[in-house]
Amino acid sequence: MQRQHRKSVTGGLALVLTLTVGALLLLAGCNIVAPAYLLIHGPEKTPQAYELDRDRSVVFFLDDREFHIRRAPTRERVTAAAEQALLKSKAVNRVLDSRAAAAVVSGEPRGDLLPISQVGRKVGADIVVYVVPELFTLSSDGQTFAPMARLRIKVMDATADTRLWPEEREGHTLVVTTTARQGTPPTDSASIRQAENEFADLVGRRIAELFYSHEADTVSDERTR
């Protein structure tokens, strides 16, 4: 009886809330639609681009042979941020340290590269999220402080040695930008490192967000194709 009473009370509150919102809509017109929707449903979410198998281990492998991300600590920061975001989302149960994948290929000759799947197997991963940076800059024109990154991303099955996503051979293009700030890009080494670190955290989070639904970020802009 007590449980049924609680259910009826909860249902009554929900009905009152719905009727109240409806009354507000009639009284205030369309201006209240967005706040009312958020009150009932919460913020809209961006859907995942690809759903990983929760029970298979994942490793992020950032392959930057052209050194578009100049500093090794910045590259590590990108993958560390991706790892943390993916684990926090609970999209998968196990994420391996990406530094292990980087160590596997650290001494490989340019003309004799290990297959992506083999890199995954060497570190004990079932799935490899393969990331190739094509651009990572704090300013595209040298005058405006407007960080931008462009990356190609593939998801590989390390066990079956097949590509899981996307269908396009060249991979999925992820472009990450931030709102341009007033002033010129930083010039001293300490400020450059700090700006790169902050942007690397954002880029890593955006990579991970391809694999779980998330609330839209109003601070930064993200475009994919």
Element (H, E) at 153: strand 148-157
Q: Give the model's pLDDT for residue 140.
A: 86
Taking each helix axis as running N to C, give the angle between helix 33-41 and helix 2-28, from 0 to 180 degrees, rounded to the nearest 10: 170
Tokens of 180: 């341009």
Task: Round to whole Å and give the CA distance between 123 and 105.
Answer: 11
Mean pLDDT of the chain: 83
Q: For residue 12, what pLDDT is reported?
A: 46
Instruction: Tabulate helix, strand, coil % of the chain (nearest 5).
Output: 40, 20, 35
The model carries a pTM of 0.78
Average pLDDT for 65-73: 95
Spatial distance between the Cα atoms of 123 and 102, rounded to a whole number of angstroms: 10
Where b means 16+ CB within 10 Å and e means fewer, 100-133 reads ebbebbeeeeeeeeeebbebbbbbebbbbbbbbb
What pLDDT score was predicted for residue 17? 41
Per-residue pLDDT band for 40 (boundaries 50, 70, 90) equals low
With bands split at pLDDT 50, 70 and 90, how would you rate the model's confidence at 107? confident
Say whether pLDDT at 9 is over 70. no
**Mean predicted confidence (pLDDT) in 178-200:** 87
* pLDDT score at 143: 86
Give me the percent of the chain exceeding a pLDDT of 70: 75
Q: What is the pLDDT averaged over residues 99-108?
A: 90
Supply the pLDDT for residue 39. Answer: 58
Helix ranges (DSSP H) in the chain: 2-28, 33-41, 72-89, 98-104, 116-122, 189-209
Cβ neighbourhood burial of 60 (10 Å; 0-12, 13-18, 19+)? buried
Per-residue pLDDT of 143-168, as tens digits, reads 889 999 999 999 999 999 999 999 99
Token pair, residue 107, equals 């001494």
Report the candidate in 124, 212, 117 with the shortest Cα–Cα distance to residue 157.
117
Closest CA to 203 of 168, 179, 174, 167: 174
Domain ranges of the chain: 2-42, 58-224
CATH topology of domain 58-224: Rossmann fold (3.40.50)
| Residue count (the chain) | 225
Q: How confident is the model at residue 100 (pLDDT cuts 50, 70, 90)?
A: very high
